[in-house]
Amino acid sequence: MLTVARKAAELIKTHRNDSIQIISHMDADGVCAAAVISKALDRNNVEHHTKFVRMLYREVVEELEPTDLTIFTDLGSSQLQNVHNRFSGHDVIIADHHVPERVEGWRELVHFNAHQFGLDGAQEVSGAGMAYIIARELDQANRDLSGLAIVGALGDIQDAWGKLLGYNRQIAKDSIDSKVLEQKIDLMFYGRHTRPIFKALETFTDPPIPGVSNSAPGCVSLLKDLDIPFKSDGGWRRPIDLTDLEKRRLATELIARAYTAVPKELVQYVPGLIIGEAHTLLKEDERSMLRGADEFSTCINSTARHEQPLIGFEVAKGDRRTYYRAMLKLLRYHRRCIAEGMEFIEQSGLERGRRGYLQYFDATGEIKETFIGTIASLTLGHPACDPYKPMIGIIRKDGVAKISARCSKLLFLKGLDMARAIRDAARLVGGEGGGHAVACGAQVEENRIPEFLERFEYLIIEQLG
Ligand SMILES: [Mn+2]
């Protein structure tokens, strides 16, 4: 594997005085991947440009201009044929972890894909991880960029088992060795460094915990019962402020309560969702949203969702001034969009699939299409929905339906791969789909939505036996 990474690094070096572009995926992993390569180039005083795209559909690729060297990160492999048609004859590096297409006889291509080395690209290494391996070959001093590779991996939900797997563990080790990262078994609360403990509890919904999830008064009284103060002299206590003993008391109680509500066959996976590996970025400010690697990745993800990936890109590269402030502003807007989206769901309610196994909503004209996935996943945490069944959001536009699907990590741990189901279901009705096992999407013709839903529901029931 390192041989190919080295070849990529050598190719970059031979082009150091030429025009270089990075083209990357517009999501958290893709933004981190581009930031890793861009940082490595900056450190070598190599000029370059960076661009983000959602997918390398044929029309998209046709609008790209080949330069002396093009580096694709977190995409390219699964649309290799399209890339080949436009870029053959030019020097290209692809650093990706998606399942690759095959193309014969493209000599100028250095294809660095996880699957070629027997790595599971869904769980063991991300696009940012692949980019990082090249950066490390460029210069061992780039080991400090491994923190970004972990942020990218979390963006692609590669820690669904409560810990990193495969090559991601090696990258985390680089990161710990270079004093960028701390890895610790902890409560899997979102906002460990930034939110009051009761708030972190209230928003914990996967798995749902009776009397805690979505219940502020319930969280307050739980903390009282467990004798865990939620305030100290310095203000609200955050999850990381809890002592190990307090954390243990809390974890035991949460697991016990979750057991009472989770379907029997899923019970064994519950502890892994409540306790797991937490990743802290030690160079970030103690109370910053960038301190927790998971929150960092959510921040970057929201810049991509709002079509402002360059903001996340500059923040990932280290800007803590202009772009960082722009990101915070965007996050406030992001929260407003979430509130509006959830209000719409409250009012319109959910529909059920024919077999009762899917829940969905159509938010055409109400929610931005890049935002539908975020709303679908938050809806899963809503008390009115069944958290153990997949949630689908639909937006119709110009005769085409954009579909986003989300499900609890519990279903994934039980063996559901929604990405496969959505790809197959979309194909069966002449569309396209893909993504991650618990978060994926598809595009189908508007008039085929009912047929798509039926097929998708069928494939999910089949997978879950
Ligand atoms: Mn990725």
- pLDDT tens string 340-391: 999 999 999 999 999 999 999 999 999 988 889 999 999 998 888 999 999 9
Q: Measuring CA to CA, which residue among 437, 301, 313, 400 is closest to residue 50?
A: 313
Are the CB atoms for 192 and 205 separated by under 8 Å? no
- Please list, in sequence order, all residues whose beta carbon lies within 8 angstroms of the beta carbon of residue 459, skipping any fewer than 6 positions away: 420, 421, 424, 425
Q: For residues 70 and 113, what is the distance between their CA atoms, to the nearest angstrom? A: 16
**349-464: what CATH class?**
alpha beta
Whole-number Å distance, alpha carbon 30 to ligand 1 midpoint, is 6
Whole-number Å distance, alpha carbon 128 to ligand 1 midpoint, is 7
Q: For residues 292 and 177, what is the distance between their CA atoms, to the nearest angstrom? A: 18
Task: Indicate the domain borders of the chain.
Answer: 2-175, 187-330, 349-464
- Least reliable range by pLDDT among 135-144, 171-180, 324-333, 429-438: 429-438
Q: For residues 26 and 271, what is the distance between their CA atoms, to the nearest angstrom? A: 33
Whole-number Å distance, alpha carbon 94 to ligand 1 midpoint, is 13
Whole-number Å distance, alpha carbon 255 to ligand 1 midpoint, is 31
Q: For residues 92 and 86, what is the distance between their CA atoms, to the nearest angstrom? A: 11
pLDDT at 50 over 90: yes
Instruction: Give residue 358's pLDDT.
Output: 95
What's the angle, vertex CA 101, arms to CA 11 and CA 95, rounded to 5?
35
Instruction: Give residue 156's pLDDT.
Output: 95
Whole-number Å distance, alpha carbon 248 to ligand 1 midpoint, is 34
Q: Locate tokens 């929260």: which residue? A: 335
- pLDDT tens string 66-81: 999 999 999 999 999 9
User: In b/e form, how buried is each residue of 175-204, taking b as 16+ CB within 10 angstroms?
Assistant: bbebebbebeebbbbbbbbbbbbbbbbbbb
Whole-number Å distance, alpha carbon 75 to ligand 1 midpoint, is 7
Radius of gyration of the chain (CA): 22
Whole-number Å distance, alpha carbon 444 to ligand 1 midpoint, is 23
Share of the chain above pLDDT 70, in %: 100
Q: For residues 94 and 97, what is the distance between their CA atoms, to the nearest angstrom? A: 10
Are the CB atoms for 368 and 404 separated by under 8 Å? no
Query: What backbone torsions phi and psi does residue 110 show, to the nearest 5 degrees?
Result: -105, 105
Q: Locate tokens 């159509």: which residue? A: 362
Instruction: Give residue 320's pLDDT.
Output: 97
Instruction: Give residue 296's pLDDT.
Output: 98
Q: For residues 90 and 155, what is the distance between their CA atoms, to the nearest angstrom? A: 31
Whole-number Å distance, alpha carbon 260 to ligand 1 midpoint, is 36
CB atoms within 10 A of CB 102: 6
Please tell me what DSSP assigns to residue 456.
H
Both tokens assigned to 333:
């807007």
pLDDT (average), residues 224-249: 95
pLDDT band at residue 56 using 50, 70 and 90 as cut-offs = confident
Whole-number Å distance, alpha carbon 182 to ligand 1 midpoint, is 23
List strand residue ranges (DSSP E) for 358-399, in order: 359-362, 391-397
Q: For residues 35 and 132, what is the distance between their CA atoms, to the nearest angstrom? A: 10
Residues paired with residue 69 on neighbouring β-strands, in sequence order: 20, 91
Instruction: Give residue 435's pLDDT.
Output: 86
Instruction: Give residue 149's pLDDT.
Output: 98
Whole-number Å distance, alpha carbon 364 to ligand 1 midpoint, is 27
Whole-number Å distance, alpha carbon 152 to ligand 1 midpoint, is 7
Half-sphere exposure of 142 (CA within 13 A, CB side): 24
- pLDDT tens string 257-306: 999 999 998 999 999 999 999 999 999 999 999 999 999 999 999 999 99
pLDDT band at residue 105 using 50, 70 and 90 as cut-offs = confident
Q: Measuring CA to CA, which residue among 436, 434, 429 is closest to residue 454?
A: 429
Give SS3 for 282: coil
Whole-number Å distance, alpha carbon 183 to ligand 1 midpoint, is 22
Residues paired with residue 184 on neighbouring β-strands, in sequence order: 278
The overall average pLDDT reported for the chain is: 95
Beta strands 400-406 and 91-96: pairing type?
Answer: unpaired
- pLDDT tens string 190-223: 999 999 999 999 999 999 999 999 999 999 999 9
Q: For residues 25 and 31, what is the distance between their CA atoms, to the nearest angstrom? A: 7
pLDDT band at residue 311 using 50, 70 and 90 as cut-offs = very high
What is 2-175's CATH number? 3.90.1640.30
Whole-number Å distance, alpha carbon 93 to ligand 1 midpoint, is 16
Give SS3 for 280: strand
Instruction: Give residue 229's pLDDT.
Output: 96
Whole-number Å distance, alpha carbon 29 to ligand 1 midpoint, is 5
Whole-number Å distance, alpha carbon 315 to ligand 1 midpoint, is 18
pLDDT band at residue 14 using 50, 70 and 90 as cut-offs = very high
CA 364 to chain centre: 24
Whole-number Å distance, alpha carbon 436 to ligand 1 midpoint, is 9
Instruction: Give residue 103's pLDDT.
Output: 86
Whole-number Å distance, alpha carbon 102 to ligand 1 midpoint, is 19
Both tokens assigned to 182:
């701390």
Are the CB atoms for 215 and 202 separated by under 8 Å? yes
- Please list, in sequence order, all residues whose beta carbon lies within 8 angstroms of the beta carbon of residue 414, skipping any fewer than 6 positions away: 265, 266, 269, 464
pLDDT at 55 over 90: no
Q: For residues 97 and 99, what is the distance between their CA atoms, to the nearest angstrom? A: 7
Whole-number Å distance, alpha carbon 277 to ligand 1 midpoint, is 20
